[in-house]
Amino acid sequence: MEKVAVRELVKVYKHGFRRQRREVLALDRVTFTVKEGIFTLLGPTGCGKTTVLRCIAGLETPDAGEIIVDGKVVFGEGVNIHPEDRGVGMVFQSYAIWPHMTVFENVAFPLQARGYSKDEIARLVKNALELVDLRGFEERSSTTLSGGQQQRVALARALVHSPSVLLLDEPLSNLDAKLRYGMRMELKRLLKELKITTIFVTHDQVEALAISDCIAVMNAGKIVEVGSPYEIYTKPRKPFTAEFVGSVNVLRGKISAGTGVVETELGPIEYSIQEGFDDYGEVVVYIRPEDVELYGTIKGLSNEFQGVAETTAFMGHFTEVYVRVGNQRIRSWTMVSRNVRPGEKIYLRIDPEKVLVFPLKNDQTIKYSSVF
């Protein structure tokens, strides 16, 4: 059964007064379903993903559409269930930890609001704190906690009343990089262990790919496409997804129907013909840096080009190399053991199976170019 169903959701924000009043369409008929696991809304800032989460939680009132949680309509025609009665828990980006309360009081608050007895509150708070490894922190003041500990308190508070669905609004964004990585994996482990359906909001592509079972890419108030992390990264169906998720080299090109070759500024590039994308002229080509292989001597393979290494940057687990081929600059992520020096003549090769080709529409502008 679907744990969450969002159908044709519309939200309009109104700004200003009288003649200066204007409307902003925040959600444009957003539709998706969540059955289980970790479902992530991924998109740039301002795309509407947090608004979706707040509508599901009952903190925002949509202008149209329907929201179903655990088979129960919580918003729809003539229906708008109170947030406390929707069966969801939410962790905010800011954590929303009350500084005047202890850890115990923060976690107990949702239970007190629902009228639980003192004994029930003590038992459930203890269990929730053990889940997030904060046993013994009950009497600690919230102001003395680290960022990671505050995030755990917020998570315990969201889980303490055993919600049917957990909503997470960029809960790791305030942590430093190392702590964020550790908490990301710990959060994923915990959610899998609890088997709780989760809707996770983030603009961080790496975070979305690492933690999700399913990703819905959003832009300008709409769902662009939905798929597994592997599908979203390796086989995107929309140009926006290819550009937004991960890094890409971008080329303009032109092809003839069924040839499997696209003529680009770099030269002719063979590609694996994608279903539905083999019969058009002007196209845009996306090539990920990790799919650009570098070597020192010619091998006579398809999609092989000679160029000159311009700049290199040691990135730890790989070396980033910019290669000049004619008037084009192509970025490659190559093994650390491959020692490339600026000014060195070099060959690059692009795997035809990894070349992404999309029709170039008249109104489409390429956001990213191959010159980074």
Instruction: Specify the DSSP class assigned to residue 141.
Output: B
Which amino acid, residue 62? Answer: P
pLDDT recorded at residue 369: 33
Q: What is the CATH architecture assignment of 4-239? A: 3-Layer(aba) Sandwich (3.40)
What whole-number distance in Å separates Cα of residue 3 and Cα of residue 72?
Answer: 9
Residue pair 363/311 in contact by the 8 Å Cβ criterion? no
Instruction: Specify the DSSP class assigned to residue 83.
Output: G
Torsion of CA 13, 15, 21, 25, to 10 degrees: -30
Burial class (CB in 10 A: 0-12, 13-18, 19+), 45: exposed
What whole-number distance in Å separates Cα of residue 138 and Cα of residue 171?
Answer: 21
DSSP string, 33-82: EE-SSEEEEE--TTSSHHHHHHHHHTSS--SEEEEEETTEEEEETTEE--
pLDDT (average), residues 336-347: 85
pLDDT of 183 above 90: no
Residue pair 331/324 in contact by the 8 Å Cβ criterion? no
What is the number of other CB atoms lying within 10 angstroms of the CB of residue 11?
22
pLDDT of 69 above 70: yes
**Residues written for the chain:** 372
pLDDT (average), residues 53-78: 96
Helices (H), the chain: 49-57, 103-113, 118-131, 147-159, 177-194, 205-211, 229-234, 239-244
Instruction: Specify the DSSP class assigned to residue 176.
Output: -
Task: Please state the domain extents for the chain.
Answer: 4-239, 247-359
What whole-number distance in Å separates Cα of residue 115 and Cα of residue 29?
Answer: 37
What whole-number distance in Å separates Cα of residue 371 and Cα of residue 161?
Answer: 51
Tokens of 82: 């109170």
pLDDT (average), residues 124-132: 91
pLDDT of 362 above 70: no
pLDDT (average), residues 65-85: 95
pLDDT recorded at residue 142: 83
What whole-number distance in Å separates Cα of residue 57 and Cα of residue 50?
Answer: 10
What whole-number distance in Å separates Cα of residue 136 and Cα of residue 130?
Answer: 9
Helix, strand, coil distribution of the chain in percent, nearest 5: 25, 35, 40
Which amino acid, residue 161? Answer: H
Tokens of 356: 């992404």
Helix (DSSP H) and strand (DSSP E) numbers for the chain: 8, 21
pLDDT recorded at residue 275: 56
Q: 225-257 pLDDT, tens per residue?
A: 999 999 999 999 999 999 999 899 999 999 876
**Which of 330 and 339 is assigned the larger pLDDT?**
330
- Which of 355, 173, 129 is CA-nearest to residue 264? 355
pLDDT confidence tier of residue 277, bands split at 50, 70 and 90: low
pLDDT (average), residues 193-205: 93
pLDDT (average), residues 109-113: 88
The strand pairing partners of 30, in sequence order, are 9
- Which of 73, 111, 71, 105 is CA-nearest to residue 89? 111
The 3-state DSSP class for residue 16 equals coil
**Which of 168 and 147 is assigned the larger pLDDT?**
168
pLDDT recorded at residue 224: 96
pLDDT recorded at residue 338: 74
pTM above 0.85, yes or no: yes
CB-based contacts of 366: which residues, under 8 Å, 6+ apart?
A: 250, 252, 284
**Which of 178 and 359 is assigned the larger pLDDT?**
359
pLDDT recorded at residue 278: 53
pLDDT recorded at residue 363: 45
Please indicate whether the domains covering 4-239 and 247-359 agree at the CATH topology level.
Answer: no
Tokens of 163: 């919600």
Residue pair 74/81 in contact by the 8 Å Cβ criterion? yes
pLDDT recorded at residue 162: 87
What whole-number distance in Å separates Cα of residue 16 and Cα of residue 23?
Answer: 9
Mean pLDDT of the chain: 88
CATH topology of domain 247-359: OB fold (Dihydrolipoamide Acetyltransferase, E2P) (2.40.50)
What is the number of other CB atoms lying within 10 angstroms of the CB of residue 211?
22
Q: 13-43 pLDDT, tens per residue?
A: 987 776 677 888 999 999 999 999 999 999 9
What whole-number distance in Å separates Cα of residue 47 and Cα of residue 40?
Answer: 14
pLDDT recorded at residue 165: 94
Handedness of CA 101, 102, 106, 111 (dihedral sign): negative
